[in-house]
Structure 1
Amino acid sequence: MRNCRAPRLRLICFPHAGGSAGFFRSWAALVPDDVELLAVRYPGREDRFAEPPAQRMEELAEPIAEACAKLAGGPLVFFGHSMGASVAFEVAARLSAAPVAAGLEALFVSGRPGPEKVRSRNLADASDEELVEELLAMSGTNAEVFANPELRELFLPLIRADYRLIDAYKVTLPPPTLAVPVVAYYGDQDEHVDEDEVNAWSAVTRSSFATRSFPGGHFYLEQHAAPLVADLFARVGTNGPRPDQD
């Protein structure tokens, strides 16, 4: 999404359920010049549209971990929002367990309870009307998509598949799994995650942990992308991660 010839750092972003790599396109103008911005393309969307969506977390996390392990020329930092937070954690856990370290420096998660607090919402089996109502209420989906019958028919099965995956998701590696700093972000009006659930992310790391809230709901980052990205890089800094920043 934003290439860099000799990156000091690579920021890899993991989209939410039903989301695509393009969700993070606007971040290209916000990251420092010496940082390479990458975003994960899940199967079933964008240039992988012909592929069936993943049925299990392992189908997502394992190939992504393999791809990340092959990256060279700078440390990695992960940012995942909502479902993407769980995917980023699972990828980070696999990299941490690998015989050769892949250079992960920090994990930033957003809008998602810690693994021990995740609760099933059974949205995969909701009616079309209920599912659309839920998606529009979270403000993470363009309303025009569901006003168009053809686009609605195209995207709802994909979104259902993602919800089915996260409803079935269980932590596969016992915490504390990671040895890198973890920072958890959330919207202070998010009905799907509260402060206690956000703090549960502290259990996944043996390193430092911090949280920060922003005004807004589940998709607070749409309105606060600039301060969010600025906070992320203030914590990473130029001499390594500092996620314990207030």
Structure 2
Amino acid sequence: MDNTTDLWVRRFHPSPDAAARLLCLPHAGGSASYFFPVSRSLAPGVEVLAVQYPGRQDRRHEPCLDSVAAIADALVDVVTPYTDKPLTLFGHSMGASIAYELAVRLEKRGTTPAGVFVSGRRAPNAFRDERVHERDDAGLLAEIKRLNGTESQLLDDDEVLRMVLPAIRADYKAAETYRPTPGDSITAPVHALIGDSDPKATVDEASRWAEHTTGPFKLEVFPGGHFYLNQVVPQVLDRISAHIDSTLTPS
């Protein structure tokens, strides 16, 4: 893998003998390190690849990308070398939109992901006119704290705040301005996971992910809000592991 790959994809627990891989795409304001516990839990049976978007942590001096399409376009070349083994995608919130668009691009190149897990995100065709990214800094921070997302206590530190706000704003712009390309869909199985009190995505909005795949679809609702998964990590990992196991078992 080249230096570009190393920038975008983090392997916290390299597992060269793993039979399958899981690519994790963070939420708005999130970073690859969010998925360190996932990598630790699934290795060495599954090799976890965590995406690091530009504009944060060790990539903070790079320009942020503020569209889902631009991120997916950049990722497809980086991710393709990892498709020599069954590759399942997992994205939370903005990451779910990117996972879907990445799957579209991979399939157009002839590679179908083993599965696509879309978490905490309404379907691409469930449009809301949201403009949080246009708010001032105080308004943007208020929304983040409302969702209890990116470590809220860190946002009380002015130095940290100056570092992370540009990336958060770019991510919100990407998420809020995202529109799917008419006619695009995938054939990979889609698993939608959602919290029952998520203000960003209702059960009805999440169920519409079924309209974006010709493959199997499953929706599962957990207790909790936008970051429901922080409280049900074992259950979410069980669902992912069971799916990956099913793709490796001869039919």
1:165 to 141, 161, 174: 174
Equivalent positions of 1:94-173 (< 5 A) are: 94-98=105-109, 101-172=110-181
TM superposition score normalised by structure 2 = 0.89
Distance 2:233 2:55 in 1: 26
Partner in structure 2 of residue 185 of structure 1: 193
Where does residue 211 of structure 1 map in the other structure? 219
Q: Structure 1 residues 239, 148: closer, same or farther in 2, change over 3 A?
A: closer
Sequence identity, in percent?
A: 35
Q: Which has the higher helix share?
A: 2
Provide the aligned C-alpha RMSD in A.
1.6
Q: Does 2:64 align with 1:90?
A: no
Matched, 1:199 2:216: no
Deviations 1:173-218 (A, max 9, x none): 524x111110000011111111110011001111100011111100
Moved more, 151-160 or 5-14: 151-160
8 Å Cα contact 1:10/1:76 also seen in 2: yes
**Which of the residues 14, 17, 21 maps onto 1:10?**
21
Which residue identity is paired with 2:233?
A
Structure 1 counterpart of 2:32, from 21, 24, 48 = 21
**Residue type matched to 1:236 in 2?**
I
- Give yes or no for contact 1:17–1:159 (8 Å, CA) kept in 2: yes
Question: Equivalent residue of 1:70, what SS?
Answer: helix
Distance 1:173 1:44 in 2: 30
2:228 paired residue number: 220
Mapped partners of 1:103, 1:34: distance in 2 = 21
Contact 2:15 2:43 in 1 (8 A): no
| TM-score, normalised by the number of residues in structure 1 | 0.91
Cα deviation for residue 238 of structure 1 reads 4.3
Deviation at 1:35, TM superposition (A): 0.7
Question: Runs ≥4 in structure 1, deviation > 3 angstroms?
Answer: 238-241
Q: 1:233 aligns with which of 226, 236, 241?
A: 241
| Structure-2 change in CA distance of 1:103 and 1:201 (3 Å) | closer
Q: 5+ residue gaps in structure 1?
A: 242-246
What corresponds to 1:50 in structure 2? 61
Cα separation, 2, equivalents of 1:48 and 1:173: 33
Amino acid at match of 1:139: N
**Residues of 1 paired with 2:14 and 2:163: CA distance?**
31
2:154 counterpart letter in structure 1: V
Aligned length: 238
**Could you say which residue in structure 2 is the equivalent of 1:244?**
none
Cα deviation, 1:26-53, whole Å, max 9, x if unaligned, reads 1123215321001111111122221110
Separation in 2, partners of 1:51, 1:128: 21
Cα deviation code 1:107-131 (max 9, x no counterpart):
0000001010032320111122222
1:33 to 29, 33, 44: 44
Stretch deviating more after TM superposition (76-85 or 227-236): 227-236
Structure 2: give runs of 5+ residues left out of the alignment: 1-11
